[in-house]
Amino acid sequence: MIDIILKFPKSTIYFFRFSRQYVNKAVYRHIMTMVLAIILLRGHRTYANASRLFLDGRHKSCISRCFTDAVFPGFTLQEDMGKRLLREAFLVPPSNGRTDKIPGAKRKAYIIIDGTAQKKHGKKMENKIIYKKGYTSDHLFVMGLLYFPDTGARIPLPRRLYRTKEYCKKHGYKYRSQVKLAEQMLKYANLPDDIDVTVIFDSFFPSEGVINAIKRKGYHFVCSVRDNRVDINRDKQLKVICQEHISEGRIKNRFEIRVSSKRSRYNQPSANKYETKIFITYTEKLVISKMGEVLVVFSRKEDEKSELKNMRYILTDKMDINTVEILTIYSYRWQIELYFKELKSYLGLGNYQMLPFRAIVRHIDCVIMAFMYLEYLRICKLHKEPSSKQWRYSRTLEMSYVLQHEVRMTNLAYLKRVIKDESSFVKLEQKLMEKLPLVA
């Protein structure tokens, strides 16, 4: 059964109330309509269903027109919502129950950066990346996630769009690679000064520009790199240095770290459990080209047989932490993979069939705002019940059920008020009869 929404829930109006200063009333209602439709209409996300979801949606094409309209500041809205989410997240006490702060200590947060590709096969869709054989085509987006491990809060950073050279030439945009987009994301990240920020990314992003952007902001980084990086002092690649360490028997330190379980479904209670992973490592200080002096952790899993082939090189400029802390911080990178999975599986990140790339971008913006809204609901629940494990470990699917319950309670409260007036109830009954094919 698909819910019909008679009135917007109070939490929806409260969360989106500041958006009214950026858009007119029609677009403001369209944004709330589309966000609720994305969350509630799993498997039935079409513009027609989204407009029928609300009894006052007179024109089925109004949301579609909104997506192709020129006035839709999705990037600005994400920035504003991210700031408010950050303020709300700071009010949640840590999971260990301690609210006291060490004098001079900063709260730890991690910016996780990665790109995601959405495979599309439409021949007339704009801004697609066609691979050599021509079998698949992608739309690429560079995403960022601000993660607080003490409370589990996840705040998306405003998305960055990858535009192909052909698309940029056609529409007059400046071409930027994915690495440049990640550099821009860090450059314009506006975070409070009382946060100790560490940036985490994989081996695709550690360019000189990204590293310099991190240093200018006063952040630190923990990342993996490819084995062809060169140590300036020895003038050798990391794979050569690693081979020397293996032959001399240096890579033998055994460490255990606890990470979130990846095998279990993260929307189930079993996902709250942790699993222990064992790594064989060796750590030393090197001067890597275009990165400066860093700590390099040569690590592999204990159950992997081939030492050199399965070796991973994890680098950090935080010189005062040990190997276990480096491995633990890098394990947080998995949070952005879960973020992508939730966007695609439960919020329909790839459920679009629009031809103009501008309309596709606005669909992506609504999906990200839907995730922000659900995270806002979770944080509000944590304010009321700080010790509740249910709200601390809830994720997108569970919070969508919470929103569905809130929508139904709002509808019931509205019906109770209307039923007292017989004339109003007759009008409501007529409208509900029009919707019967949708809810049958």
- The answer to whether residue 120 is domain-embedded is no
265, part of any domain:
yes
Residue-wise pLDDT for 226-271, tens only, equals: 999 999 988 999 999 999 998 888 888 888 887 766 544 444 444 4
**Residue 122 reports pLDDT greater than 80:** no
Q: What are phi and psi of 387, to 5 degrees?
A: -90, 5
Which of 320, 338, 357 marks a domain boundary? 320
Report whether pLDDT(105) > 70: no
Per-residue model confidence (pLDDT) at position 25: 83
What percent of the chain clears pLDDT 90, i.e. is strictly above it?
Answer: 39
CB atoms within 10 A of CB 301: 11
> Which of 300, 320, 340 lies at the terminal end of a domain, its last residue?
320
- pLDDT tens per residue, range 1-44: 345 777 889 999 999 998 888 888 878 888 888 888 888 887 66
Residues 378 and 312 in one domain: no
In a domain, 156, yes or no: no
Dist. CA 123–CA 265, nearest whole Å: 35
Write out pLDDT tens, residues 157-170.
999 999 999 999 99
Judge if 314 and 390 occupy the same domain: no
Element (H, E) at 167: helix 165-171
Instruction: Select from 284, 305, 320 the last residue of a domain.
Output: 320
Domain count, the chain: 2
State the residue range of the domain holding 223.
217-320
Higher pLDDT, 391 or 304: 391
Residues 230 and 316 in one domain: yes
Q: What pLDDT is stored for residue 102 in this prediction?
A: 52
Q: Tell whether 390 and 312 lie within a shared domain.
A: no
**Residue 238 covered by a domain:** yes
Q: Which residue has the tokens 């029009």?
A: 434
Q: What is the CA radius of gyration of the chain?
A: 24
Distances (CA, A) of 256 to 259, 311, 323, 388, 411: 10, 17, 10, 28, 51
219-228, 239-248, 274-283, 421-430: least confident range: 421-430
Q: Per mean pLDDT, which range of 46-60, 128-142, 294-308, 384-398 is the poorest?
A: 46-60
316 and 386 part of one domain: no
Q: CA 289: distance to chain centroid?
A: 31
Amino acid at 43: G
pLDDT by residue (tens digit) across 355-368?
Answer: 788 888 888 999 99
In a domain? residue 310:
yes
Mean pLDDT in residue range 275-304: 89
- pLDDT band for position 154 (cuts 50, 70, 90): very high
- Asked which of 71-80, 132-141, 304-313, 326-335 is least confident by mean pLDDT, the reply is 132-141
Q: How confident is the model at residue 62 (pLDDT cuts 50, 70, 90)?
A: low
308 shares its domain with 380: no
Is residue 277 over pLDDT 90? no
pTM: 0.89
Residue 358 lies inside a defined structural domain of this protein: no
Residue 55 and residue 139: Cα distance in Å, rounded?
Answer: 34
Please report whether residue 364 resides in a domain: no
- Calculate what percentage of the chain has a pLDDT beyond 70: 81
Q: Which residues pair with 125 in a beta bridge?
A: none
